[in-house]
């Protein structure tokens, strides 16, 4: 089973490599946004967008309501442990 974590894109870090900074609950990670950037869309248009993150890749866009519902469910099932594993050591 795969788990996608809702994260919010906060900045573009490397446009050539299609990398962005994403954040959830204070944890920030650099992620690849190539799969969620539509043809002809600027990467900057992704800033503020919620996405599902899996193994370093934003795999789909979601709205804020869906992100909140998913985060609430993950909190109830141990998201804190998952986020602790994502945090830099």
pLDDT of residue 76: 85
Please name which of 24, 51, 79, 68 lies closest in space to residue 32, comparing C-alpha atoms.
51
Residue 70's closest CA among 23, 8, 5, 1? Answer: 5
Span 37-86, pLDDT tens digits: 999 999 999 999 999 999 999 999 999 999 999 999 888 887 667 667 76
What pLDDT does 1 receive? 55
The torsion angle over the Cα atoms of residues 22, 4, 64 and 86, rounded to 10 degrees, is -40
- Residue 83 CB coordination number (10 Å): 16
d(CA 19, CA 51): 13
pTM score, whole prediction:
0.84
CATH of the domain at 78: 2.30.30.140
Q: How many domains does the chain have?
A: 1
Give residue 39's domain range: 5-86
């Amino acid at each position: 089973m795969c788990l996608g974590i809702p994260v919010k894109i906060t900045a573009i870090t490397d446009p050539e490599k299609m990398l962005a900074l994403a954040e959830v609950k204070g944890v920030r990670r650099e992620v690849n946004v190539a799969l969620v950037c539509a043809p002809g869309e600027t990467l900057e248009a992704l800033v503020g967008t919620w996405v599902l993150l899996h193994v370093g890749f934003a795999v789909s866009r979601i709205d804020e309501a869906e992100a909140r519902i998913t985060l609430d469910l993950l909190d109830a099932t141990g998201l804190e442990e998952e986020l602790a594993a994502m945090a830099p050591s």
